A and B are shown apart, each in its own frame.
Chain A
Amino acid sequence: MHNSDHALPVRGNPDADAVILGAAGDRADGTISKRAHYAPPWADVSIIGIAGSSGSGKSTLSQAIVSKLNLPWVVILSIDSFYKSLDPESSRKAFRNEYDFDAPDAIDFDVLVERLRDLKAGKRAEIPVYSFEKHARLDKTTAIYSPHVLILEGIFALYDPRVLELMDMKIFCEADADTCLSRRILRDVRDRGRDIEGIIKQWFGFVKPNFEKFVDPQRKVADIIVPRGVENHVAITMMTQFIEQKLLEKSKHHRAALTRLEIEAQSQPLSKRVTVMEQTSQLRGMSTIIRDIDSSGEDFIFYFDRFAALLVEQALNNVSFESITINTPPGHKYSGLCARGEVSAVILLRGGAALETGLRRVIDDCKTGRILIQSNVRTGEPELHYLVLPSDIHEHEAVLLLDAQMSSGGSALMAVQVLVDHGVKMDRIVLATYSAGRIGLHRLTTVFPDIAVVVGNLVKDVEERWVEKRYFRC
């Protein structure tokens, strides 16, 4: 069964690889006692295990569930990614079809357990990439981050007791042995260029004995045994309903956590790390044109860009500098400052993109990541849809997080959590926003007390997002 159906994690969303990122770094740990806790909806991922014989239709079933749910937060992880790298001796055997890939020993359960625990804790997990051509793990890894539900699929998905402990639902796919063998022959001949003799040799030599010895006993720990795989509509509906229920619970918890933070935040003064820009006459004059519903689109964009450049200039005062001495052309020395390292930006879409022209006026070649968080129209819950960050973001001296408006602070909170999860230290994050309400600011700085925030205008607490509509004119 070393011919993987899919070795890479697959998302239900067509933008799958957009969610998968580069190298991870150190995690910033929040050790400040008064810090409030925020649990993003991916913090306690629900894990569903699907085991069964080779050819029993596990992966078809998983894919059917994912496509039925059609949500970007459900991810399939194949246990095939966790095949051990082979030593030279085993490798030679493997190339002669004599290595037993269908025994639990072939799987690196230690790494699997570690990665699943990371995901359960809301962290990013680097998933190994196994090459079936080389019978070895490749140097690269694929990252999984922020799924709300994860389907672990593979012949030994229900094998290791440590994995079972992390699971919310255990499924065993059952199929008639004749069906399994015929599916395997068809697939291996058609897709993998094997000859029938070799397939049969492997089947009776390894697959069948291992099935009886290791795979089949897993049915004892399963919650549900599903016969006929993908044709079993009742079972698929049951499983999707179970997952939908889980997602609903997570959403409820998340929203409750946000409300709790809001209540906690109200009683406190604004953090010292929040800077509201000085309301000079130019700034107020610009804001008057920006906010006037009767301003032309042309004026709006011109003044918003001008404002944005000032906002970014102000935000940069929060990055770390060091003293330097330079020589001027007339030959005098000057003791000045320079930034300690690279400053990058992360645009919180769509609103933050309105600040991008201003950003480029200040740092023309700024590395820029993008995060799309949208509020669910029904519940108002912020949802993470899309994420691309510079792979070395954890090494940057400062990361400017840009958004046009922040009212409740829900999406800003989630975005900062994403940065922290990608190894950016809290005190290196500077959030810059055209306008913000007090509750949002409180909520954000209670959870992340070390981030700096620069605000163009303080506004009443709840304000519908209008800047992006005016800026992009739709």
Chain B
Amino acid sequence: MSPSLENVKVAPVGPDYRSESTKPTATISTPVPFDTVTILPQTPQLIALLSTIRDKNTDRGDFIFYSNRIIRLLVEEGLNHLPTVEHTVTTPVGRTYDGLSFQGKICGVSIMRAGEAMEQGLRDCCRSVRIGKILIQRDEETAQPKLFYDKLPEDIADRWVLLLDPMFATGGSAIMAVEVLKSRGVAEDRILFINLIASPEGIKNFATKFPKLRVVTAFVDQGLDEKNYICPGLGDFGDRYYTR
């Protein structure tokens, strides 16, 4: 059984100067009614990147390269939510530029193992960033997610946290990861959950449970299938990135 087709939004995609009839159509992200959720602009380039990594025939090399491109775009967007202060500088040609300077310390926290695949993209944007790790696995007996391991920066309470996990399905592990972060003193509104593909269900769960936490995603899919996989999704991200 597939999730309802009501969520499928097909639209012409392309730059504004082209007429609607000359733009190719594609399925774009399902809209969601939460201010805390940022979906990347549905540009033709982003849709093409997602098409490549979703395609089951894409080989591992391409999967890694194109995923990294999307991850960088996600990190760039995520960083826009961090505070800045005005800062004026003198340019090499002697003009002044009224710019901004970045404020606040950050760190990454990846949910093992798929989240670790997003670390390279984070490092491409933020040199020598501190990165914590959390291992959450499904408990065989209860079928509930269980925390197995975590290693986080000691001063994490003073930092903004970019929580990394590429596939946001039901959000079970992400919810647990956020609980861990909160228990270490991280304020909810200082957590940014960065993922590539989300489900409407996961987003709704999260927004209800953590109304101040921000989510940055490239695409909200139609929904979850009977195995709780995102549909149409891209399969197991960690497998495709690391081992397949």
Contacts and interface: CB of A to CB of B under 8 A. Distances in A.
Partners in one complex: yes
Interface of A: 272-273, 275, 280-282, 284-285, 287-288, 291-294, 302, 306, 309-310, 313, 316-319, 321-324, 326-330, 332-339, 361-362, 364, 452, 460, 463-464, 466, 469-470
Contacts of A466: 91-93
Contacts of B234: 328-329
Given A292-B89, A330-B231, A330-B235, 16 more contacts: A282-B80, A294-B89, A313-B73, A317-B14, A326-B57, A327-B56, A327-B57, A328-B235, A329-B234, A335-B10, A336-B48, A361-B124, A362-B69, A452-B17, A466-B91, A470-B92
Interface in B75-96: 76, 79-80, 82, 84, 87, 89-93, 95
Contact of A328 (B10, B14, B56, B72): B56
Interface string B194-223: 000000000000000000000000000000
A126 to B, nearest CB: 34
Contact of A302 (B10, B69, B127, B232): B127
Interface size bucket, B side? 35 or more
Contacts of A364: 65
Contact of A318 (B10, B15, B102): B15
A309 B72 CA distance: 9
B137 interface: no
B93 to A, nearest CB: 5
B233 A285 contact: no
A291 B16 CA distance: 30
B175 interface: no
A313 B102 CA distance: 23
By Cβ-Cβ distance, the 10 closest A-B pairs, closest first, are A288-B99, A336-B51, A329-B235, A332-B232, A292-B89, A466-B92, A326-B55, A272-B17, A334-B232, A291-B91
Given A306-B124, A318-B15, A337-B44, A288 B97 contact: yes
B241 interface: no
A214 B54 CA distance: 73
Contacts of A361: 69, 72, 124
Interface stretch (B20-28, B106-114, B156-164, B184-192): B20-28
A329 B56 contact: yes
27 contacts: A273-B17, A281-B82, A287-B97, A288-B87, A288-B99, A292-B97, A293-B92, A313-B73, A317-B15, A317-B43, A319-B45, A322-B24, A323-B26, A324-B51, A326-B56, A326-B57, A328-B55, A329-B56, A334-B51, A336-B27, A336-B47, A336-B50, A361-B69, A361-B124, A362-B69, A452-B15, A466-B91
Interface of B: 2, 10, 13-17, 24-27, 43-45, 47-48, 50-52, 54-57, 65, 69, 72-73, 76, 79-80, 82, 84, 87, 89-93, 95, 97, 99-102, 124-125, 127, 225, 227, 229, 231-236, 240
B78 to A, nearest CB: 9
Given A281-B84, A332-B2, A336-B54, A291 B99 contact: yes
A29 to B, nearest CB: 20
B13 to A, nearest CB: 6
A39 B236 CA distance: 57
A93 B233 CA distance: 74
A273 B16 CA distance: 8
B51 A306 contact: no
Given A292-B89, A309-B72, A285 B100 contact: yes
Contacts of B91: 291-293, 466
A181 to B, nearest CB: 65
B55 A281 contact: no
Contacts of A317: 14-15, 43-45
B84 A285 contact: yes
A460 B93 CA distance: 11
Contacts of A275: 15
